[in-house]
Structure 1
Amino acid sequence: MKRRELLRAGVLASAAAALPRTPALAQNTAPSPELTPAQSGVDASKDLAAPGWKPLFLDAHQNETLIVLSDLILPATDTPGAKEALVNRYIDLVLAAETPETQRAFLNSLGYLDGESMRRYQAAFRYLKREDQDDLLHALAYPRANSGWTGEAGGPDVGHGHFEQLKQRIITAYYSSQTGERELGWDGAFAHGSYEGCNHPEGSHK
């Protein structure tokens, strides 16, 4: 099974994003809580795809690093990848509304990636050769197994934890975008529902 198919299976079971809704949408729609923002009619992509878009939260280097990372985790295949889906912009939008603790946690994880890149290759992650980027992510993607030789319990795998936080943000943002929703089978129809008037005969109300 391809990596994209494995991710899709996991997201179908659990992923749900929290993109903010505009006041107008909040007044005019009452979507089911099980619907993702794209299915509920929250089309943030229009603003996020604007030519003059600038990050609300991330700085320029963090944004470019996130673009590179997301494209490695969810590359374009026969369907658009994270870069085409503007995943970095969705994540920036969500982070701008998050708590300071959540914001710091994300930046710590992004910073850890750059720190490991500098330590191993003497360059920030976004500037590495593709094969070096792949090697670094492969090293972080799997938790280090305790050898058991000392009989001591292994400590937390900090690098793997940071990688998982970044990966989950990217996957959730992708499958909450309209691009990701269409890959999951959504046909593009918004769940506004239809208005039906009262069916009681005239004069029957008290």
Structure 2
Amino acid sequence: MNRRDLLKFIATATGASFVCSPAMAVWQTQPALTAVKDAGLSENTVALITELCETVIPRTDTPGAKEAGLPAFFIGMLRDCYTAEQQALMEAGFNHIDVRSQQQFGKPFVALTQSQKTALASELDAEALAFNRGEQTAWKGDEYEGLPHYFTLYKQLMIFGFFTSKVGATEVLRFSEVPGDYRDIPYKKGDKAWMTVWPL
């Protein structure tokens, strides 16, 4: 799976074009992102981001978001690569998730059981797709005209961050240090996708 295919996959999965396209430079040396401690987020928000990342990309028989370092990447990208308006939308979304969590389960997101976290994340994902199609949803987004649902931004960033991390690219996808030319790839059901092109 190359960068272009990855971005197409993200757009298809989230129902919206990738918002942070200027930041796309996969597997190249990049300046350090803003550290979590310098991001100006509350401890609760950092914990919410961490649990949300792991809920969307959990550990199964392969590593999950936490093992890939996704929460810190998510926070650094949020601060360094999104516009002020996009950041405001994403931060409003963190508050909205906790409001929804309190309404449905009587406690904040980080205190939910794993099944409750998964149920709420799935609900938000479905809502985001509907919102992006122009349907009426619980999230109104009135102050953020022209932007997708906040969960769409989260999911795009999580997918991109995870599958371009060393863990995601080499332990979840297949990676070759010396990729070869393009050719038809024999596929068996259950095979991992390639991070790089088919090796020689």
- TM score, norm. by length of structure 2: 0.62
Matched, 1:184 2:173: yes
Large movers: runs of 4+ above 6 Å: 16-20
Q: Identity over aligned residues, as a percent?
A: 21
State the match for 1:101 in structure 2: 85
1:168 aligned partner, one-letter code = Q
Quick one: which of 55, 59, 66 aligns to 1:72? Answer: 55
Q: 1:91 to 1:109 in 2, by over 3 A?
A: same
Distance, in Å, in 2 between the alignment partners of 1:187 and 1:72 is 29
Label 1:178 to 1:171 Cα distance change in 2 as closer, same or farther (>3 A).
Answer: same
Task: Give structure 2 stretches of 5+ with no counterpart.
Answer: 11-17, 141-147, 179-200
Alignment partner of 1:11 out of 6, 11, 28: 6
CA contact (8 A) 1:109 1:163 kept: yes
Q: What amino acid is aligned across from residue 48 of structure 2 in structure 1?
A: T
Higher gyration radius (CA):
1
Q: 1:135 to 1:176 in 2, by over 3 A?
A: same
- Aligned position for 1:158: 139
Match of 2:73 in 1: 90
Q: Which secondary structure state, in structure 2, belongs to the residue aligned with residue 75 of structure 1?
A: coil
Q: Deviations over 1:68-111 (max 9, x none)?
A: 11111101122211111111100111122232111111111121
TM-aligned CA deviation for residue 180 of structure 1: 1.9
- Check the 8 A contact 1:106/1:166 in 2, yes or no: yes
Q: Which amino acid aligns with 1:85?
A: A
Q: Aligned residues, how many?
A: 156
Aligned alpha-carbon RMSD (Å): 3.7
Contact 1:87–1:173 (CA<8 Å) still a contact in 2? yes
Q: CA 1:121 to 1:184, structure 2 compared with 1: closer, same or farther past 3 Å?
A: same
Cα 1:76–1:44 change in 2 (3 A) is: farther
Find the partner of 1:171 among 154, 159, 166.
Answer: 159
Q: Which has the higher contact order (CA 8 A, sep 6+)?
A: 1
Partners of 2:89 and 2:153 lie apart in 1 by 9
TM-score, with structure 1 as normaliser: 0.60
